[in-house]
Amino acid sequence: MRVAIVNNQAPFVRGGAELLAEWLHQKLEEYGHEAEIVRIPFQWNPPERIIDHMLAARLVRLANIDRVVAFKFPAYYVPHEDKVLWLLHQFRQAYDLWGTPFQGIPDTSAGCRIRNAIVGADRRHLTEVKRIYTNSKIVGHRLRLYSEIDSEPLYPPLLDSGPYHCEAYEDYFFMPSRINALKRQYMAVEAMAKVSGATKLVIAGPPDTPGDLAQLMDVVHEHELESRVEVIPRWISDDEKLRLLAGARGVIYIPLGEDSYGYVTLEAFHARKPVITLADSDGTHELVRDGRNGRIAVRAQGLADAIDELAGDRALAERWGQTALETISELDISWDRVVRCLTA
């Protein structure tokens, strides 16, 4: 069938959703469908613009399309009789971020009208789609809580999991991710100060700002961990990442309050590595099962304990790593499933 993958567009931004759209495009074509990526610009500043873009989406007309797969607000308002959502986001500022410092829309009467429009529009239009999948249970829970609409999780696979492999469980932990406050690399470093053994930590990823890197290095120096913590402050190539994963004892991924499990977790599991995460990382818990394929540590001290636990027991890491791999097939995180669900 001819599928339009409909996503927002914030010019010059290329994030997870853009990647997912490209991967889905490639996979749909591999499975014999025809696909086009349709990107609809979205601007949310000033907040009145949000309404403009909601309406613009409703006035878009699509020719030659059998099925629309839409990812986000407000692109998912595009009219089409055969529309399926693979929901990555509603507009969180109107929902779980409303009433927090991140609500984005002002508390004025105009702001409240805008928020009411978003809430009302979602309730009205999301019930008219054929089926809703979400990329995580958290997004699904929010959809039920705020819009009273049901959905089913459909986990995004890696584009190509083939190259991920395990060679050994050496004496280091790997932490790949952009370096910023939300990814909390500093907490892992602090944990390393409490770890009893000689195990190492390798942090790799581009810092969002020079300040982010400076802050992290301060923590390293403060605890004199220069010899135990290696920081690679840039994008690493796929080969580098595969190599570092293949030899790691485990992967540490402790972002604050993420919606979904993150590709880091999935990559680790494909490489048969257990993952250490935190209780407030939220999304990672959809993959990480405490004591079976990783550790959900409760506080910073728990983090250190978890590192010690795996550092001191190579066989444990191997067992958890095996379970981690099985978790992927247990949850059927595959393109087979994705394409089947989205084109059914």
Element (H, E) at 170: none
Residue 208: DSSP 8-state: S
Q: Does 38 bind other proteins (CB under 8 A)?
A: yes
**Which part of the chain contacts other proteins (CB under 8 A), choosing from 56-64, 99-107, 166-174, 192-200?**
56-64
Q: Does 159 bind other proteins (CB under 8 A)?
A: no
Euclidean distance between CA atoms 335 and 341, whole angstroms: 10
Q: Does 60 bind other proteins (CB under 8 A)?
A: yes
**Which part of the chain contacts other proteins (CB under 8 A), choosing from 2-10, 237-245, 295-303, 311-319?**
2-10
Contacts of 163 (CB under 8 A, 6+ apart): 238, 242
The smaller minimum CB distance to other proteins, of residues 123 and 144, is found at 123
The smaller minimum CB distance to other proteins, of residues 45 and 237, is found at 45
**Which part of the chain contacts other proteins (CB under 8 A), choosing from 43-51, 147-155, 229-237, 254-262?**
43-51
119-138: which residues touch other proteins (CB under 8 A)?
119-121, 124-125
Q: Does 18 bind other proteins (CB under 8 A)?
A: no
**Which part of the chain contacts other proteins (CB under 8 A), choosing from 112-120, 244-252, 281-289, 310-318?**
112-120
Euclidean distance between CA atoms 138 and 231, whole angstroms: 31
Of the residues 36, 240, 308, 313, which one makes contact with other proteins according to CB under 8 A: 36
Q: Position of tokens 């991710």?
A: 177
Is the bond preceding residue 153 a cis peptide, omega within 30 degrees?
Answer: no
Q: Does 24 bind other proteins (CB under 8 A)?
A: no
Contacts of 106 (CB under 8 A, 6+ apart): 47
Element (H, E) at 83: strand 83-89
Euclidean distance between CA atoms 101 and 277, whole angstroms: 25
Q: Position of tokens 């983090």?
A: 303
3-state secondary structure of 10: coil
Footprint on this chain of other proteins (rule: CB under 8 A): 2, 4, 9-12, 34, 36, 38-41, 43, 45, 48-49, 51-65, 77, 110, 113-114, 116-117, 119-121, 124-125
